[in-house]
Amino acid sequence: MSENIFFIIFFIFSSLIVWAWLDIFRFLRKERKEPSLPKELAKNHVVVVRRDNFEKKNVKIKDLNKFIEKSLVKMHKDMLLKAKKKLDDNIVTVSNINELTNAINNRKVARARFCCNSSCENLLKGKIQGVRTVNISFDQPKVSGKCFLCSKDAINEVLFGKNY
Ligand SMILES: [Zn+2]
């Protein structure tokens, strides 16, 4: 009698295990057969995210080429403006060596009237370690006044900076 109960329980238990395995296999087969498409693709549109400002837009697939072209142009303009603004915000106009030293110590770029003589630049490099000419713009108005360092006539407005 107890043997019968044992076999019945054993039969029920093993059937449950087989049923569970069959269910797992069925689930795995279903997963392989039906790769799930993103929801937006099923609706013929995609979500486009700009990597510079994380702006998201829903775009129809048929409009995607034009949208990407326009976005790249706009993204280029925006990034250039942002970089120019960051540069402009970090330029300080100086008129003597103390102001230039302060600007450089505050990790700014200093704009100063300069004679452009190499002897004057070497003098500056001796006074502030690591300072160098970072830019002499081609597009600048005629400069009048004296060099901030040696008091000779200035030739250009020059940007001085330091690599960190
Ligand atoms: Zn000078």
Domain boundaries, the chain: 1-34, 39-88, 91-162
Cα separation, 47 vs 84, in Å, equals 30
- Strand spans (E) along the chain: 45-49, 56-60, 91-93, 109-114, 131-136, 156-162
Quote the ligand 1 centre to 119 CA distance (angstroms).
8
Quote the ligand 1 centre to 162 CA distance (angstroms).
19
Quote the ligand 1 centre to 140 CA distance (angstroms).
18
The answer to whether 121 touches 133, Cβ cutoff 8 Å, is yes
The answer to whether 120 touches 114, Cβ cutoff 8 Å, is yes
pLDDT of res. 31: 66
pLDDT of res. 127: 92
Quote the ligand 1 centre to 105 CA distance (angstroms).
21
Tokens of 47: 């979500």
Quote the ligand 1 centre to 65 CA distance (angstroms).
55
Quote the ligand 1 centre to 87 CA distance (angstroms).
25
User: How many Cα neighbours within 13 Å face the side chain of 118?
Assistant: 0
Quote the ligand 1 centre to 114 CA distance (angstroms).
5
Kindly report the pTM of this predicted structure: 0.61
Say yes or no: domain 91-162 is CATH 1.10.10.10. no
pLDDT of res. 114: 95
Quote the ligand 1 centre to 86 CA distance (angstroms).
28
Quote the ligand 1 centre to 78 CA distance (angstroms).
38
pLDDT of res. 43: 85
pLDDT of res. 1: 60
What is the pLDDT tens value at each position of the chain, 164 positions in all?
Answer: 667 887 788 777 777 787 878 788 788 877 666 667 778 788 899 999 999 999 999 999 999 999 999 999 999 999 999 999 999 999 999 999 999 999 999 999 999 999 999 999 999 999 999 999 998 988 888 889 999 999 899 999 999 999 87
